[in-house]
Amino acid sequence: MSKKVTDIMKERMAFSFEVFPPKTDKGMETLTGKGGVLDKLYGLNPDYISCTYGAGGSNVGKNLEVLKSIKAANVATPITHFTCIGNTRDGIKEQLQTYLDSGIDHVLALRGDLPFGWTGTGGDLHYATELVKFIRAQFGDKFTIGVAGSPEGHISCRSIEADISFLKQKQDEGADFIMTQLCWDLDQFRWWIDAIRAAGITLPVDVGIMPVLDSKATINMALSRNGCVMPRPLAEIISKYWIFDSPFAPTEAEESVKQKKADFKEAGIEYTIKLIDEYRVAGIAGIHLYALNKYEDVARLVAESGIKDM
Ligand code: FAD
């Protein structure tokens, strides 16, 4: 059996990575093959590695393959993300049993991002609260269950208070820990931690951190789905190394884009390390780095921030 991540969080701050299932066989080989990205990430000694799950289970085969390879390496606890999108109760039961049969007994229970144009999950369950309840009813304590928390409020919540009350409901239904949506706004995060504790939520909070490495990806993650605030120092880095076409001037071939991207990455790594420092003193139970299926930049972040030795 894998080490229960909530037991680790009782002892000390946990440290983990998130990867995603590659679309191609070549991508799979780069991630899971001998000497590949996962093998290198194991060398950084993470407590757990989670793998995302595509809306509608589109990548479920590759998700399972990645998780099985993490399980086989026996270095870090494998956690699967799992969503309600397009899934029937029977389908959920079957898939979760397959995870258990493969030795994967940790699940991040999510509603899932609704594909564009969808107004509901298109499945039997509509919210993560229902999924947590269903997993506990079907599988008892066989799974350790994580749930998402949104320090700035989920993009479609009717109010942050409603969002927090649904998070409390996830705890009441049997969730074991919280993994947060990315949040660069530490003042907001500190407010949220106080607010969830005041609401009676006692679950450990593992903080999701997206490394700031690329300005396009940073803007996309903040704004394409999540409506995240970008604090002034982060906005300054994006401005300083601006690489986008201007709507107010004809596009000119930008000689310096390559250099600006490299400079942005340096500034972004420095920014991410400071963010990790701030989170570590904000009353959290773990740091969860989105590894983006990369090694070199992630290894640098781990080494320079000191999180390996937490
Ligand atoms: P919920 O908690 O169900 O909340 C969704 C919305 O409904 C919120 O606005 C909430 O306020 C409201 N709500 C919740 N419960 C109720 C209720 N009972 N009644 C009325 N309203 C309610 N997506 C993927 O597709 N695959 C992934 O692998 C994935 N990994 C993620 C990992 C992390 C750490 C995080 C934070 C998110 C991840 N997501 C993933 C995105 C996630 O699926 C989306 O943010 C999704 O839009 C909401 O999921 P949730 O579990 O927070 O939903």
pLDDT in tens, 59-95: 779 999 999 999 999 999 999 999 999 999 999 999 9
User: 34 C-alpha vs ligand 1 centroid, how far in Å?
Assistant: 34
Does ligand 1 have an atom closer than 6 angstroms to the CB of 162?
A: yes
* Residue with CA at minimum distance from ligand 1 atom 42: 112
Catalytic residue among 11, 18, 94, 270: 18
Please state the rounded mean pLDDT for residues 186-206: 98
Mean pLDDT estimate for the chain: 94
Rounded percentage of the chain residues whose pLDDT exceeds 90: 86
* Catalytic residue flag (residue 173): no
Question: Does ligand 1 have an atom closer than 6 angstroms to the CB of 113?
Answer: yes
Using CA atoms, how far residue 206 sits from 34, 61, 69, 151, in Å, is 30, 27, 23, 12
In testing the pocket of ligand 1, which one of 126, 127, 150 has its CB within 8 Å of the most ligand atoms? 127
Q: Is the CB of 179 under 6 A from ligand 1?
A: yes
CA of 214 to the centre of ligand 1 (A): 25
pLDDT for residue 55 is more than 90:
no
pLDDT band at 115 (very low <50, low <70, confident <90, very high): confident
For ligand 1, whether the C-beta of 154 sits within 6 Å is yes
pLDDT > 80? residue 174: yes
pLDDT score at 247: 76
User: Could you tell me the pTM of the whole model?
Assistant: 0.96
CB atoms inside a 10 Å sphere around CB 259:
11
Question: What is residue 251's predicted lDDT score, i.e. its pLDDT?
Answer: 59
pLDDT for residue 162: 98
Per-residue pLDDT at 253: 52
CATH of 5-213+279-305, one of 3.20.20.220, 3.40.30.10, 3.30.70.2170, 2.40.30.10: 3.20.20.220
Pick 119 or 136 by higher pLDDT: 136
Average pLDDT over residues 195-205: 98
Q: Does the pLDDT at position 191 exceed 80?
A: yes
- The closest residue, in CA terms, to atom 45 on ligand 1 is 113
129 lines ligand 1 (CB under 6 A): yes
